[in-house]
Each structure stands twice: as C-alpha cells, then as structure tokens.
Chain A
C-alpha cells in the first residue's frame, strides 16, 4: 500500500482535510469518508452521470477523478444546492414536472443542470438535451427532465429580474 496523502477538499462550502490513498476516487471519498451520499455510484465507467458533482466550475463524473486530482478544489454536490425546507428551483421543478421516478439519477441530473444553467441561463430545449447528454435516466424518458430544467431556468431568470 502506498503512503496516504493529505487532501484538502471544500465541499458545499465546508473545508475538509482528509488522509487518503492517491488511488481513491473522488466519489468514494465523498460517500465513504465524508458521508456525502447524494452523488451516486451508477455505472462506475464514466457513462451514466449519477456521480456528477461540480468541481470548480466544471461538471465532472466523480467516479473518473482521483481525490488527489481534486486536492484543493471546491466541490458542490446535490447537498449544496438546496434544503428540504428551501428547495433549489431545479429541485422544485423536478418535483413539479415529475422529472424523476426512482430518483437514482436525480442528484447527478440536478447538479449537472445547475452548472448548465450557470453557463447558459436561457437554454433552448435542444441545448438542454445536449447539455444533459452525459446523464442517463432509465425511468422518465427524459421529457419531464427537460421540462423541469426549462421551467427552473424560467424561475431563476424571473427571480433575477425581480431582484434588479
């Protein structure tokens, strides 16, 4: 076994210092060391997107990033996007538009959608589909996920306008 290394991660605004082996994947460190279990392990082969988190300003599949690569990074998971009492507009829209059924893909979907809307606050339906194409859902057929993302975009934009 190789020497453990000290890794600093800021997850959802909280700074964590952990000792981990370099070969530990970010998803394992999040779930097993930090008990942040929103990001799911689906395919483990960087296809399904269930493990998607935001690293800096990038959506990444945390099953294909070593925690060592993320040393020093700011990570946002679904836990950082809303609370049960104050849902993020995307969470509210997924509930309202039935954007989930079993819910397994949902944390990755919403985390990815949040970054998509930060980069493109007014996406077309096609841009949503293309921008979400790294996340697989086996229940919904995607239609309601796309509706939910578009609805959340409208909510976020009107809240911004109201604030101005």
Chain B
C-alpha cells in the first residue's frame, strides 16, 4: 500500500508551518504522529499533495503545570503523557485514558494534538477533554484563538478549526475529586465500543459536581450535562446512577457498525458509565 506522491515539508517553527498552509491551501495538511493520517493516505482515502510535518517545531512540545493550570503542547505523545509523573499526580485520568489508546508502538507516535484535532469520533481524548472542560488553542493567519473543547466538534472529522489554522496546545484546570476513564473495546488497539470519562466531586456523602462525557457513541464526543446534573446533590447511589444513565442515553446517538448494533452499543454505554461512576466515586 503506497500513498499517492506528495511533497514533504518539515518547517522549524510555527510561522513557517502556517506560511506553508497558506501557500498550498487545500493541497496541504499537517502531520503530527501520523497514525490516523498515514493509514488513510496508504488506502488513498486521503490525498495530501503537501505534507507538513510538525515534528521539528519545539513550541508545540512540552507539558506545563502552572499551579492548577495544565497545558499540553500539541505534539506531546501519548507515551509522554503516560510517563509524566507530575501529570499523573494532578490529573491521573489522562494516564488512565492514554493507556487505553491503541498499543505501545502507536502511543510513541500518537499525539494529544492529533487525537483531538482529527475529529475522529473513535478517538478517546476529545470526550475526555470535554469532561475536563478543556480549551483548545489554535493559531492561524489571523492570530491565536481559544476554542472550548465542548464546542469544537461539529460532526465526524469536522471541527471549529479552520483549514489554515494549526492546533498548538490544549489546556485545562487540574480536576478535583474522583476521576475515571472506562473503555470497552473488542481487543487491544481497537477504538471504543463505548467509553466514559467521569469526574465527581464529593462533600461528605453527597456528590457536589459531576462531569460526564462519552466516546464513540455519536459522530461527535458527547458531554452529557444532564447526566452530570442527575448525580449532583445525590449520594451517588443506585437510583442516582440509573438516572444519570437514562440522561446519558438520551444524549447519545450511536450508529450500528462492526462493533455491534445500536441496541448493543446503548446497553454497553450504560454498563461502562455505571462502572466509571462507581470507580470515580470510590476515588472522590
């Protein structure tokens, strides 16, 4: 499987990368780890006459923790996320989720920026970023913009990023309370049949705040405000959990495919969310 011919560019800084995007317009795409784009190019489902490799742009690297604000450069790999002890202390849900993405070799190459920018509904980080209420930072010819993760996704592979913009970083406040990322997949390396990101805060026996997002159960990630509200003010008991699941099921819209028919996915989504809530609550 050989992709169509292309010109390869490796700009050394962000302005050069943006200039190449401007110059080549629709014919150009940026590549981060490439583990979504290269398979598509090999299948000739994506044709990219000008491939702009972001690997040499140092400004896109690095994990920064400033007080409670966490910023991840777009080119931070899943492997780097997993290995970062400071990040695991302040936001353990990142490592928990990243360990469930693909396999070790893919995680050495796959990046947080590529995972969130590609708009593939199967990717795990978009749902997690919505759960965290993260901000995506993009830079284009008109300068920088900050876009909330919760309003970034329009439909499969369609996002609020313009074609001439590059996603440079994601940032979010370190979550407080109990966190869990739960994922059902057919085998190692697979995308989710259903996955849930849950963050709960607790005061005594009461859940004081809940954020819940689901992955691969619609053509965009689903942050279910109603599911979170169903847990807030409750002791997170079985009745509250069933209410949260019912609210979540009203927000998702899975399609039947080789991971199962719609009924199975809805069933799985309920079980996965129940497990994620129970685990997050036990850690809250």
Interface residues of A (CB under 8 A from B): 1-3, 5, 21-25, 44-47, 49, 52, 58-61, 64-66, 68-69, 71, 112, 116, 130-134
Contacts and interface: CB of A to CB of B under 8 A. Distances in A.
Closest 7 CB pairs of A and B: A134-B103, A22-B8, A58-B108, A68-B8, A134-B105, A2-B5, A133-B188
Interface residues of B, number: 29
Contacts of B3: 23
Given A23-B5, A49-B105, A134-B189, 16 more contacts: A2-B7, A21-B5, A23-B6, A23-B41, A24-B2, A45-B1, A46-B105, A49-B103, A59-B104, A60-B109, A61-B105, A64-B34, A64-B109, A66-B51, A68-B10, A133-B189
Interface of B: 1-8, 10, 31, 34-35, 38-39, 41-42, 51, 53, 55, 79, 102-106, 108-109, 188-189
Nearest to A51: B105
A60 B108 contact: yes
A16 B115 CA distance: 33
Given A46-B39, A60-B109, A64-B39, A134 B104 contact: yes
Contacts of A112: 104-105
A52 B5 CA distance: 24
A111 B202 CA distance: 46
A72 to B, nearest CB: 9
A4 B51 CA distance: 14
A46 B106 contact: yes
Contacts of B8: 5, 22, 66, 68
Contact of B7 (A22, A24, A59, A60): A22
A47 B109 contact: no
A119 to B, nearest CB: 8
B186 to A, nearest CB: 12
- Interface centre among A45, A49, A66, A112, by most chain B C-beta atoms within 10 angstroms, is A66
Contact of B106 (A21, A61, A132): A61
A52 B106 CA distance: 11
Nearest to B188: A133
A112 B106 CA distance: 12
Contacts of B41: 23
24 contacts: A21-B5, A23-B3, A44-B1, A45-B39, A45-B42, A46-B35, A47-B189, A52-B105, A58-B79, A60-B109, A64-B35, A64-B38, A64-B109, A66-B8, A68-B8, A112-B104, A112-B105, A116-B104, A132-B104, A133-B104, A134-B103, A134-B106, A134-B188, A134-B189
Contact of B105 (A2, A60, A71): A60
A71 B8 CA distance: 11
A45 B1 CA distance: 9
Contacts of B106: 46, 61, 64, 134
Contacts of B35: 46, 64
